[in-house]
Chain A
Amino acid sequence: MVKVYAVWIVLGVLFLSGRAFPENEPAGSMEERIDEIKSLEKRIIELEQQQKILARKWEIEQQAAAEKAKASPVVTATSKDGFSLKSADGDFSLRFRGLIQADTRSVSGSSGSLADDTFTLRRVRPIFEGTLWKDIDFKIVPDFGGGSSSLQDAYLDFKFLPEFKVRAGRFKSPFGIERLQSCSDTLFNELGLPSNLTPNYDIGAAIFGDLYEGKLGYTLGVLNGAADNASIDSDIDNNKEVAARLFANPWKGEDSFLGGLGVGFAATYGIKDGTSGSTYLPTYKTIGQADLFKYASGVVSDGAQERYSPQLYYSYGSFGVLAEYITSSRKVSKAAATEKLTNKGWQVAASYVLTGEDATYKSVIPRKPVNFTEGSYGAWEVVARFGRLDIDSDTFPTYASSTSYPETATNIGAGLNWYWNRNVKWALDYDWTSFDKGSTKGDRKDEHAIIGRVQLTF
């Protein structure tokens, strides 16, 4: 009986819900539901299409943006590379960098052309570098230091291969290792005594490159032929000078004690025929930029000049040392007298980075740039040097005055460099230079030069 009652109860429920007797349902409701379902299906399909359309539009926009980015030039401003503009494919670029060196100089002793103690802008150089057509680099560097304007670098490099490149224009003669350092990277504020024997900027052409994965570099150039410690813009005679330099880093890239060792040899040979108007003869300077040596009036360069320089740079961790030995021989004449004179110089300059960064041929890059609030103080480097310059004793008295210019100058220097970050450096040097002869009273007075510098590079 319970089962019968249960069945009736179920049937009753079904009747009330209309499901038990579908033939009694109103005729349109099932069709309406089916239409409703179809309409919903259609709506879902439309929504799916809308979603796909939106996704596709987004995809197309992204593709267009990516294509546009490929063709767009890249503009950057960084502490390392200054301000630069580069084409999307990298084949064209222009970099604007700069160098400002503001000095304070106090020099005592020495003699002659000693400048007053002064503040001075030693160098103010806008630097324009770039690349054209991927394989042609250029560099143009004017200088406005000291209130005058001059041209330093102005050259093109044609990069045929890493092993073979051609440079043409105005550039540093490939000779002295200290002279070849960028003026923002030198250990001391002024170059050492032997750099007096090296040519500075010259005009000509050179081939150069790196061999054996950069372990051997070479340069071979033909240039107008600058005098020692001088730059030249146009030749004084019809002769040219050949300059060659080889520099090897045999253990480059190896994690060894010798990994930072570089040794090289450079030489120049040229004929320099001076005249009374353009003698083709050098003037040497002390560290304090007083006149160290000049040839007497009436003396001209008369024939071949040869220079040789074995040179070395070594660094291991925070310790670095630079050394060079230079001879510069030339024929000079005065009236009927002719002589071959050989001047010699050498120096050893060492550095140690107190804060632990690596010493390099280039500037120290502090691990922690100066930030006083956070207690970081950049990188500190102590430097020292010992150097000497010998004038050929046969120079005196015919070709130069022994009471005006010394036969020998010996220099000891020490300094402290504070690298705020990769762009700013403070430097303070003290150099003591003693002389043999060069005065009417015997030896010229010792020179004491204190040179401080604030330097900005970008």
Chain B
Amino acid sequence: MNIKTWIKGIMLGILVSAIPGYAKEIKLLNVSYDPTRELYQEFNKAFAAYWKEKTGDTVVINQSHGGSGKQARAVIDGLEADVVTLALAYDIDAIAEKVKLFPKTWQSRLPNNSSPYTSTIVFLVRKGNPKQIKDWDDLIKPGVSIITPNPKTSGGARWNYLAAWAFALEHYKIQHPDQKDAEKSSEADAYAREFVGKLFKNVPVLDSGARGATTTFVQREIGDVFLSWENEAFLAIKEFGADKFEIVIPSLSILAEPPVTVVDKVVDRRGTREVAQAYLEFLYSEKGQDIAARNFYRPRLESVAKKYAEQFPEVKMITIDAVFGGWQKAQKRHFDDGGVFDQIYGIK
């Protein structure tokens, strides 16, 4: 090999080494509901590490948190989310319906109706349970002060409301064992309406989101019982101590399935589709499911669910489809302006 060849080789080597790496920095915005802060703090770190290893690119995920309904409205009003991870399907449907940022069939694009984890509603009470709250019917007793967010803005509050309503229907059914389909009767409906009305009469403060309600109950020490997302209740105990609070599992609760989706028009405009899709798919991976479970969300993956089985108590859960005919019907009847909640709470 002559000297010219050597020189060419060296020059080529210098050139190649001088070529900058193609690693880039990608930013995503995840618009989420209120109580998922800790979950996504941990999850985002894990995903960023995973993506860096896989592609060499740096992913920076910015989070926005708030009441699920409020967050949906923010996206409708122009907040450019790459992904939305909200408390209930109706809020994501509203985005698809009003501004068509993704197709109406979004829920079928990921497994389990695009809900990588589930949760439910439990009661968080003061240590020792001084008001002896054991079930939903204890909440309507005089002198019991209940903390729940506002169903007009919070997804968790809507789950609370519907769980209470479902309990009332079930309670009516138990009281009328001889009546066929008692829980579907108009009398049962009236009973449930009265029950939920009494419940909300015991609510002194309505926060806009679940995290605000946690602050009210835990830090401001207001109320005797907090109708809480299961994960929020566990987090409160973890953070503030099992000597201050305890969890009461009601006889009946609701299966909450917080869904997620990529916001197609935003990711296509920004060129972040591949990362955004991978981000949500990572929620379904073993690592993602493990993180969810560690943050007290009930995982879908069988293997992870078994690993954390002891962490999650047995709860009898109804589904929104079975009792209310789905979110569209429930939202329209109970939470739209002028709906049952407005009538109960006296909002004009």
Which A residues, 30 to 79, have Cβ-Cβ distances below 8 Å to chain B?
A: 49, 52-53, 55-57, 60, 63-64
Which B residues, 208 to 242, have Cβ-Cβ distances below 8 Å to chain A?
A: 208, 212, 216, 220-222
Q: Which of B145, B205, B221 contacts A60 (CB 8 A)?
A: B205
Pairwise interchain contact A57-B208, C-beta atoms closer than 8 A:
no
* A45 to B: closest C-beta gap in Å: 10
Pairwise interchain contact B220-A56, C-beta atoms closer than 8 A:
yes
CA distance A57 to B206 in the complex (A): 8
Q: Is B103 an interface residue (CB 8 A)?
A: no
Pairwise interchain contact B208-A53, C-beta atoms closer than 8 A:
no
* B23 to A: closest C-beta gap in Å: 24
Pairwise interchain contact A53-B212, C-beta atoms closer than 8 A:
no
Set of chain A residues within 8 Å of B212, measured between Cβ atoms:
60, 63
Chain A's closest residue to B219 (CB) is A56
Pairwise interchain contact B222-A53, C-beta atoms closer than 8 A:
yes
Pairwise interchain contact B216-A56, C-beta atoms closer than 8 A:
yes
Q: Is B207 an interface residue (CB 8 A)?
A: yes
CA distance A55 to B220 in the complex (A): 9
Pairwise interchain contact B145-A57, C-beta atoms closer than 8 A:
no
* A71 to B: closest C-beta gap in Å: 9
- Interface class of chain B by DSSP: loop
Pairwise interchain contact B208-A64, C-beta atoms closer than 8 A:
yes
Q: Is B204 an interface residue (CB 8 A)?
A: yes
Interface size class of B (residues with CB under 8 A): 10 to 19
Pairwise interchain contact B205-A56, C-beta atoms closer than 8 A:
yes
* A65 to B: closest C-beta gap in Å: 12
Set of chain A residues within 8 Å of B207, measured between Cβ atoms:
60
Which B residues, 79 to 114, have Cβ-Cβ distances below 8 Å to chain A?
A: none
Centre residue among B205, B206, B221 by max chain A CB count within 10 A: B205
Chain A's closest residue to B143 (CB) is A46
Pairwise interchain contact B208-A56, C-beta atoms closer than 8 A:
no
Q: Which of B206, B208, B222 contacts A49 (CB 8 A)?
A: B222
Chain A's closest residue to B207 (CB) is A60
Set of chain B residues within 8 Å of A60, measured between Cβ atoms:
205-208, 212
CA distance A77 to B121 in the complex (A): 51
Set of chain A residues within 8 Å of B221, measured between Cβ atoms:
52
CA distance A338 to B286 in the complex (A): 87
Pairwise interchain contact A52-B220, C-beta atoms closer than 8 A:
yes
CA distance A52 to B212 in the complex (A): 15
* B321 to A: closest C-beta gap in Å: 33
CA distance A53 to B206 in the complex (A): 10
Set of chain B residues within 8 Å of A53, measured between Cβ atoms:
204-205, 222
CA distance A56 to B222 in the complex (A): 9
CA distance A53 to B204 in the complex (A): 7
* A54 to B: closest C-beta gap in Å: 9
Set of chain B residues within 8 Å of A63, measured between Cβ atoms:
212
CA distance A60 to B212 in the complex (A): 9
Set of chain A residues within 8 Å of B206, measured between Cβ atoms:
60
Set of chain A residues within 8 Å of B220, measured between Cβ atoms:
52, 55-56
Set of chain A residues within 8 Å of B208, measured between Cβ atoms:
60, 64
Centre residue among A55, A56, A57, A63 by max chain B CB count within 10 A: A56
* B210 to A: closest C-beta gap in Å: 14
* A24 to B: closest C-beta gap in Å: 37
* A64 to B: closest C-beta gap in Å: 7
CA distance A63 to B205 in the complex (A): 14
Set of chain A residues within 8 Å of B222, measured between Cβ atoms:
49, 52-53, 56
CA distance A57 to B207 in the complex (A): 9
CA distance A404 to B220 in the complex (A): 91
What per-residue 1/0 map shows which CB atoms of B66-77 lie under 8 Å from chain A? 000000000000
CA distance A63 to B212 in the complex (A): 10
* B70 to A: closest C-beta gap in Å: 9
Set of chain A residues within 8 Å of B204, measured between Cβ atoms:
49, 53
CA distance A63 to B222 in the complex (A): 18
Set of chain A residues within 8 Å of B145, measured between Cβ atoms:
49
Chain A's closest residue to B223 (CB) is A49
Set of chain B residues within 8 Å of A57, measured between Cβ atoms:
205
Set of chain A residues within 8 Å of B205, measured between Cβ atoms:
53, 56-57, 60
Chain B's closest residue to A71 (CB) is B77
CA distance A49 to B202 in the complex (A): 13
Chain A's closest residue to B216 (CB) is A56
CA distance A64 to B212 in the complex (A): 12
Set of chain B residues within 8 Å of A64, measured between Cβ atoms:
208
CA distance A60 to B204 in the complex (A): 12
Chain B's closest residue to A59 (CB) is B220
CA distance A52 to B207 in the complex (A): 14
Set of chain B residues within 8 Å of A52, measured between Cβ atoms:
220-222
Set of chain B residues within 8 Å of A55, measured between Cβ atoms:
220
Set of chain B residues within 8 Å of A49, measured between Cβ atoms:
145, 204, 222
Centre residue among B204, B212, B221 by max chain A CB count within 10 A: B204
* B125 to A: closest C-beta gap in Å: 15
Chain B's closest residue to A52 (CB) is B222
CA distance A53 to B220 in the complex (A): 8
Centre residue among A57, A63, A64 by max chain B CB count within 10 A: A57
CA distance A56 to B206 in the complex (A): 10
CA distance A57 to B212 in the complex (A): 11
* A39 to B: closest C-beta gap in Å: 13
CA distance A245 to B220 in the complex (A): 64
* B231 to A: closest C-beta gap in Å: 23
CA distance A57 to B208 in the complex (A): 11
What per-residue 1/0 map shows which CB atoms of A146-173 lie under 8 Å from chain B? 0000000000000000000000000000
Chain B's closest residue to A57 (CB) is B205
CA distance A158 to B222 in the complex (A): 53
CA distance A64 to B145 in the complex (A): 23
Set of chain B residues within 8 Å of A56, measured between Cβ atoms:
205, 216, 220, 222
CA distance A120 to B308 in the complex (A): 87
What per-residue 1/0 map shows which CB atoms of B173-215 lie under 8 Å from chain A? 0000000000000000000000000000000111110001000
A and B contact pairs by CB, cutoff 8 A, 14 listed: A52-B220, A52-B221, A52-B222, A53-B204, A53-B205, A56-B216, A56-B220, A56-B222, A57-B205, A60-B205, A60-B206, A60-B208, A63-B212, A64-B208
Residues of B within 8 A of A (CB): 145, 204-208, 212, 216, 220-222
Given A56-B205, A56-B220, A60-B212: 17 more A-B contacts, CB < 8 Å: A49-B145, A49-B204, A49-B222, A52-B220, A52-B221, A53-B204, A53-B205, A53-B222, A55-B220, A56-B216, A56-B222, A57-B205, A60-B205, A60-B206, A60-B207, A60-B208, A64-B208
Q: Which 10 A-B pairs have the closest CB atoms?
A: A53-B204, A52-B222, A56-B220, A56-B205, A56-B216, A53-B222, A52-B220, A56-B222, A53-B205, A57-B205
